[in-house]
Amino acid sequence: MVALREKASSAIVAVTDIERARRFYSGTLGLERLEDGMEGVLVYKTGATHLVVYPSEFAGTNKANAVVWDCGADLEAIAAGLRGKGVKFERYEMDGVTYKDGVHDAGGFKMVWFKDPDGNILHLNSA
């Protein structure tokens, strides 16, 4: 049997309005669109993987992280750039975690959460 552990995986996000999603993911987040799939599916390059955005009536119903980016030392600069484009960050209260300018700091491990126009939770961290 071929093992899944040897295969690449991709994140997939449901949206209600594919054109609005295209403006957000291409414009606001600055992702490079690789192709349009069938029925308006968008495929973006994200590091060595892909982010697939597709229309669905169930968009935004997930209450957990939909996509996570490991940003390393670039996290604060990326957050500042997004803040400059009007992205509103989520704030979560957690023991031992400080919060400043949209960035949660857990003893040096930094995290940012924000939502796309459909309410999908997007997460950046300093891993």
Domain-wise residue ranges, the chain? 4-125
In tens, the pLDDT along 11-56 reads 999 999 999 999 999 999 999 999 766 778 999 999 989 999 999 9
pLDDT tier at 1, thresholds 50, 70, 90: low
pTM summary value? 0.91
What secondary structure, in 3-state letters, does the chain show?
CCCHHHCCCCEEEEECCHHHHHHHHHHHCCCEEEEECHHHCEEEEECCEEEEEEECCCCCCCCCEEEEEECHHHHHHHHHHHHHCCCCECCCCCCCCEEECCEEEECCEEEEEEECCCCCEEEEECC
CATH architecture group of domain 4-125: Roll (3.10)
